[in-house]
Amino acid sequence: DAGVIQSPRHEVTEMGQEVTLRCKPISGHNSLFWYRQTMMRGLELLIYFNNNVPIDDSGMPEDRFSAKMPNASFSTLKIQPSEPRDSAVYFCASSKLAGDSNEQFFGPGTRLTVL
């Protein structure tokens, strides 16, 4: 199994540009999570999907952020327009919906720098 795949691994863009981050979860997993990691705030949950349906997007910081999961094998996180304070590492994670546990497998992350 290839694990969770994210692209791009690094993104440098200028303020005001649109940024799209992509994620392919582990095959067979039906929950997908987007996190943002910064030194100041640690690992913040932005949004998660169960069976492709967004369940909780209360962590999405502003309307500039949006996420979609059109099918079980693909999700995107879009920032439009981007701002310097959006610079962070964005992780996607996936898991199987299960009753008592939820081991999440993280992707390698996308390091976003907004100039």
Partner 1 sequence: GENVEQHPSTLSVQEGDSAVIKCTYSDSASNYFPWYKQELGKRPQLIIDIRSNVGEKKDQRIAVTLNKTAKHFSLHITETQPEDSAVYFCAAYQAGTALIFGKGTTLSVSS
- Contacts with partner 1, residue ranges (CB under 8 A): 31, 33, 41-43, 45, 48, 50, 55-56, 58, 91, 97-104, 106-109
Residues 79-104: b if buried by 16+ CB within 10 A, e if exposed: beebeeebbbebbbbbbeeeeeeeeb
Task: Tell me if residue 107 falls in helix, strand or coil.
Answer: coil
| Backbone phi, psi, residue 4, to 5° | -75, 135
Q: Which is nearer to partner 1, 14 or 56 (CB)?
A: 56
**Minimum distance between the CB of residue 71 and partner 1, rounded to whole angstroms?**
20
Q: Which is nearer to partner 1, 37 or 81 (CB)?
A: 37
Q: Which tokens belong to 29?
A: 């997993």
**Minimum distance between the CB of residue 80 and partner 1, rounded to whole angstroms?**
24
Task: Tell me if residue 67 falls in helix, strand or coil.
Answer: strand
**Minimum distance between the CB of residue 18 and partner 1, rounded to whole angstroms?**
25
Q: Which is nearer to partner 1, 79 or 93 (CB)?
A: 93
